[in-house]
Structure 1
Amino acid sequence: MRLGGRLAAAIDILADLETRNRTPAEALKDWGYAHRFAGSGDRAAIGNLVNDTLRRRRSIAFLMDGDTPSVLAHGALFTSWNVTPERLARENEADRFAPDPPSPAVLSAFAARRLADAPAPVQADVQDWLAPSLEANFSDVWVEEMRAMAGRPPLDLRVNRLKADKAEILETLAPSGARPCALAPDGMRIAAGEGPARLPNVTTNRAYAQGAFEVQDEGSQIAALLLGAMAGETVLDYCAGGGGKTLAIASAMGGAGNIHAFDADLRRLSPLAERAGRAGAQAVTIHRQPGDLAGLEGACDRVLVDAPCTGTGTWRRRPDTKWTLDRAELAERVRQQEEALSRASLHVRAGGELVYVTCSLLPEENEAQIAAFLEDNPGFALASLAERWAETFPADGPKPLSSDGHTVTLTPASTGTDGFFVASLVRGS
């Protein structure tokens, strides 16, 4: 397919997303089934254009003075793909599948407008109602932080120490462009491409099938390491989900100790058994019912609460959720976090640690949540993660953000990772 045909497909998919409640992945999959002539390169390019449009939907609409699917997709080409209107017109001239070009008024607006003249939430590509929270979190650099969140994410991988050596896996994946991550000691990164470039499907690699590495964002790897789990300890991953952090913890502990994984949503937990088997993580015990955890009350050295959240830190990967998030969802996530923290805290032994993690950048879900928990649970105290960070990560590497000197906030702008918040709470003896 030529560029015009790919652009037309992206416009169709964006229109589909406007009329039906579905994810871009679902819409792209359906489009692929209906257009089997399109190759994998075409599908990847179309997916890139759809997601690039969603990442910067609001700023593109300002620059183009319009927000129809066609105007937005054209704007993504002009801004994110660096395709000029003149080049596109030349390429589409002989392409019968190309869509109609933007109107002269739209092109005139694009030529005249500057994003610096737009309101801050437009520059940041966020909804207006989120601006106060983001400004409270990042102060005068909040727009820059959100601009970084509107970029493409890399593909991050984690070497499984239980089965493989990092140097060996880096050599295996060298043809895919894998390089060591800047911070996570077991992390490897394949940089995001530009325009139609696609990332490799590393899950077809034999080493992946053998459990030698996992797909996991570097920020998630860092959050798991900040738990500080050591060989021989008893650890509970209370909101384990698919088990990414569970397996990272097992690898960091060298298979020595007891790791218990639980999640209230059994559908999210279901892949963990197969993943743990592939990874050789024999120390992992999966609990599918809350009652199964009764024997662990007051018995765990460390409890990880990777709490349900709005996912604002993962907007690079799920840009559609940036525009569907509302106050009701935020309130529900805050309630779920309160409940998870309260229940998980029962399993921390005296002197043990409760580590709270979200992939959110909203203070309502992070600092405010910790403050409320400490007020209700005077037996816990906030500990500083600065020493653990210094012991775990390179001194010359990127530095996280912290509003209080104790917690850790990771962002694309500061650490080159997805957005994560981490806090450590120690239970008194």
Structure 2
Amino acid sequence: MTPAAHISAAIEVIADISARRRPATDALKDWGLSHRFAGSKDRAAIASLVYDTLRRKASSAWLMGNEEPRSLVLGMLKLQKNLDVAAIDDHFSGARFAPEPLSAEERENLAKDGLKGAPLHVAGDFPEWIEASLVRIFGDEVEAEMQALTHRAPLDLRVNTLKANRDDVNAALAHLALEPTSHSPVGLRAIPAENRRGPAVQSEPEYIKGEIEIQDEGSQLAALLSAVHAGEQVVDLCAGGGGKTLALAAQMNNGGQIYASDSDQRRLAPIHARLERAGVRNVQVRTPRGGADAVTDLDGKIDCVLVDAPCTGTGTWRRNPDAKWRLRPGSLSVRVNDQAVVLDRAAQLVKPEGRIVYITCSVLPEENDESVAAFLERSPEFKSVPAGEVLERALLSRLEPVFRKTEHGLQMSPLKTGTDGFYVSVLERRAKK
């Protein structure tokens, strides 16, 4: 397929997403099934165009004056791909499989001086109703922070120190041209090539042997900030597929005990194979049955409870750009309520002088500092640990300048840390008097 044909296909997929209001992954899958002549490279190029269009949906619509799929793709080509009118014109020739030629109005819009005069939510490409929330956390840097969320995310790997070290793994994977992550001491990063998928890491021997895991550097840092160590009793209360459980086990060098659980037992299904592959021996998976709590016997006995809380995922919009346009106030309220429930449950598990490590992949203060503040109001026996102390305990004080400090925690973002938008707060139970 030609680049012009890729653009035509992207317009078709965007139209499907808009008409049927469904995730981009579903629309792209259906397009591929109905166009089996398209090879894997073609499908990757089309997916890249679709996701870039969704990243710049608000700004493209503002530039072009409407939200028609063709207009959104045109706006993206100018704003995201930095193509001028002549270059865009070459692709919109009306030839076989190419989009129809540009109209006079489209040419005029594409010739405009970018986003000069655009409202903040347009310049930052985010839903207007969360603007006040973003200003509370980012202040004058809202536009820059949110524009950083419109770029493609890198592929980050965590080296499993139970089986390997970063230098040896990087040497073995030299053909992937990986780079050590800037902040995590156990991370490697692959920068995605334009219009191509990332490397097929899962087929590499190092992945198969459990020497590496796919994990964003921000998620790696969140695990490190827990400061867990061998000998501790730890609960990963929202373990899901086990990404952070595996990281904690490596930090503890297979010492102590980790109990991995989740309210949804289906989410736990992948964890067993992952633990075996990684050589983890200090994790006990607690699967809830019939809705029963699987860790009741641990109440008051735990040194550290990791709460990878349910959230809106606003910090992962680089990877899931269509999710931001599906976000609604009602879903935010639901998530905040979920966070209250899981924090209150975590509090019951923690022994005196133990701690909760509260993590979200969100940049919204409602889910971060405000959720924590509400918890502290309900649970005065807990206090938030100052950000500097959290970093010191984790031996990460050198990273203090790259985190955004909040009242109760640390906020990561693509702009500041080059990671997804993770938030971490450490909440410590006071000693008994």
Is contact 1:8-1:98 (8 Å) kept? yes
Q: In 1, are the aligned partners of 2:89 and 2:102 still within 8 Å (CA)?
A: no
Residues in 2 aligned to 1:367 and 1:29: alpha-carbon distance in whole angstroms: 38
One-letter code aligned to 2:145 = E
Segment of structure 1 superposing worse, 44-53 or 73-82: 73-82
> Aligned equivalents of 2:294 and 2:121: distance in 1?
46
Tell me, in whole angstroms, the C-alpha distance in 2 between the residues paired with 1:101 and 1:379: 67
| TM, length-normalised to structure 2 | 0.95
The answer to whether the Cα contact below 8 Å between 1:380 and 1:428 also exists between their aligned partners in 2 is yes
Q: Which residue of 2 aligns with 1:13?
A: 13
Taking the aligned partners of 1:275 and 1:22, their CA distance within structure 2 comes to 31
The aligned residue for residue 305 of structure 1 is 307
Write the distance in 1 (CA, Å) between the matches of 2:154 and 2:375. 34
Secondary structure at 2:338 match in 1: helix
- Name the counterpart of 2:138: 138
Match of 2:348 among 346, 357, 376: 346
Match of 2:334 in 1: 332
Q: How many Å separate the matches in 1 of 2:390 and 2:376? A: 21
Identity rate, percent: 44
Q: Please say if residues 182 and 398 of structure 1, whose CA atoms lie closer than 8 Å, have aligned partners that are also in contact.
A: no
**1:2 is aligned to 2:2:** yes
* Helix, strand or coil at the partner of 2:337: helix
Instruction: Tell me the distance in 1 between the aligned counterparts of 2:198 and 2:79.
Output: 21
Q: Tell me the distance in 1 between the aligned counterparts of 2:30 and 2:276.
A: 32
Paired position in structure 1 for 2:198: 199
- CA apart distance, 1:19: 1.9
Counterpart CA distance in 2 for 1:397 and 1:90 is 48
100-109 or 258-267, larger mean C-alpha shift: 100-109
Does residue 386 of structure 2 align to residue 387 of structure 1? no
Deviation at 1:3, TM superposition (A): 0.7
Q: Which runs of 5+ in 1 are unaligned?
A: none
Aligned equivalents of 2:98, 2:400: Cα separation in 1: 46
User: Hey, what does 2:403 align to over in structure 1?
Assistant: 400
Post-superposition shift, 1:188? Answer: 0.6
Residue number in structure 1 paired with 2:188: 188
Query: Residue 263 in 1 paired to residue 270 in 2?
Result: no
C-alpha distance in 2 between matches for 1:219 and 1:40:
30
Match of 2:38 in 1: 38
CA distance in 2, matches of 1:124, 1:92: 27
- Decide whether the 8 Å contact of 2:356 with 2:428 is kept in 1: yes
Residue 218, structure 1, aligned to residue 217, structure 2: yes
* 1:230 alignment partner in structure 2: 229
1:21-73 Cα distance to aligned partner (Å, 9 max, x none): 43211221222222222121111111111000001100111112221111111
> For structure 1, which segment, 80-89 or 176-185, has the greater mean C-alpha deviation from structure 2 after superposition?
80-89
* 3-state secondary structure, aligned to 2:234: strand
CA distance in 2: counterparts of 1:345 and 1:53, whole angstroms: 43
Which residue does the alignment assign to 2:423? 421
SS at match of 2:415: helix
- The residue aligned with 1:26 is 26
Offset at 1:75? 1.9
**What is the match of residue 107 of structure 1?**
107
Code of the residue aligned with 2:252 in structure 1: it is: M
Question: Does structure 1 retain, via aligned residues, the 8 Å contact 2:387–2:405?
Answer: no
Please tell me whether the aligned partners of residues 381 and 428 of structure 1 are also in contact (alpha carbons under 8 angstroms).
yes
CA drift of 1:86 comes to 1.4
Provide, for residues 330-362 of structure 1, a one-character-per-residue CA deviation record: whole Å limited to 9, x for no partner.
000000000000011111111101111111111
AA aligned to 1:399 is V
- C-alpha contact (below 8 Å) 1:185/1:393 kept by paired residues: no
Aligned partners of 1:95, 1:394: CA distance in 2, in Å?
59
Asked if 2 retains the 8 angstrom alpha-carbon contact of 1:125 and 1:146, the reply is: yes
Normalised by the length of structure 1, the TM-score is: 0.96
Residue of structure 2 in register with 1:75 after alignment: 75
3-state SS, counterpart of residue 320 of structure 2: coil
> Which residue of the partner structure matches residue 412 of structure 2?
410
CA distance in 1, matches of 2:208, 2:317: 28
